[in-house]
Amino acid sequence: MLKRTYAWIEGWSHSARSEWVLFLVAIAESSVFPIPPDVMLVPMCGSNTGKALRFAAICGAGSVLGGILGYGIGLFAFDAVGEPLLNFYDPNHQVFAQIEQIYTRWGFWGVLTAAITPIPYKLFTLASGLFHFSFGLFVLASVIGRNLRYFAVAGLMSWGGDRLRDWMGENFELVAGSILVFLVGSIAILKFL
């Protein structure tokens, strides 16, 4: 099943609409959608190494715009939209309570960390608006963090090219499992901060 999904997503890298789909997935993931754009970015960069940096820029721009949308939801529509999202992603509000502590201690650096790592960035975008975090610092941290993340992925895929893409396709379960372990580990670390 995972290999078929990977192949389907990789097929988008050859579509005339692939860049738009990547952009829209990046916007949605930063504010409401659970699947990260890396799922599209990795095979797209691996299939078209010459466009990898362009794909990273598209992904970064979409992600920052989605982050701004999430900030707006937190600031203007938390009760109507943000609260149901929070209940979906963090039913016990444990992570959200820790995000509030992270803002108190680290502010900008907390947003930057969430923008780079698989820590649920969308929860940070909602919290940034809800807690009235500086919009300018939020955007700056998002631009730096999201672009660092996506350009690192693009660089790795450009360097590894077809060989890395093929290896990832053959070992997709291992790659997906490793990402899941990293995500769970990141959330566990966040819980102990």
Residue span of the structural domain in which 88 resides: 2-192
For helices 38-47 and 52-76, what crossing angle results, to 10°?
170
Q: What is the pLDDT of residues 5-47, one digit of tens each?
A: 656 666 766 778 889 989 998 998 888 877 788 888 887 887 7
Average pLDDT over residues 150-176: 75
Average pLDDT over residues 43-54: 85
Query: What's the total number of domains in the chain?
Result: 1
Of the candidate ranges 40-54, 80-94, 164-178, the one whose mean pLDDT is the lowest: 164-178
Give the span between the Cα atoms of 181 and 7, in whole angstroms.
Answer: 22
Element (H, E) at 157: helix 135-170
Give pLDDT, residue 142. Answer: 95
| Contact between 122 and 30 (Cβ < 8 Å) | yes
| Contact between 64 and 143 (Cβ < 8 Å) | yes
39, burial (CB in 10 Å: exposed 0-12, middle 13-18, buried 19+)? middle
pLDDT > 70 in the chain, percent: 78
Of the candidate ranges 12-16, 50-54, 69-73, 101-105, the one whose mean pLDDT is the lowest: 12-16
**Residue 82 pLDDT class (50, 70, 90 cuts):** confident
Give pLDDT, residue 53. Answer: 94
Average pLDDT over residues 74-97: 82
